[in-house]
Amino acid sequence: MPNKVLIKKRGLARRKKSIKGKLTIGKYPRLVVYRSNLHLYAQLVDDNKSETIMSISTNDKAIRDDLTTISSKIEKSIFVGKKIGSEILKKKINKV
pLDDT tens, the chain, 96 aa long: 578 888 888 888 888 777 666 666 677 888 999 998 888 999 999 887 888 999 999 988 888 888 888 888 899 899 999 999 999 999 988 887
Helix, strand or coil, per DSSP, at residue 12: helix
Q: Could you tell me which of 53, 55, 83, 54 has the C-alpha nearest to residue 67?
A: 83
**Would you say 91 and 54 are in contact if contact means Cβ atoms under 8 Å apart?**
yes
What's the alpha-carbon Rg for the chain, to the nearest Å?
Answer: 16
Cα separation of 66 and 70, whole Å?
Answer: 8
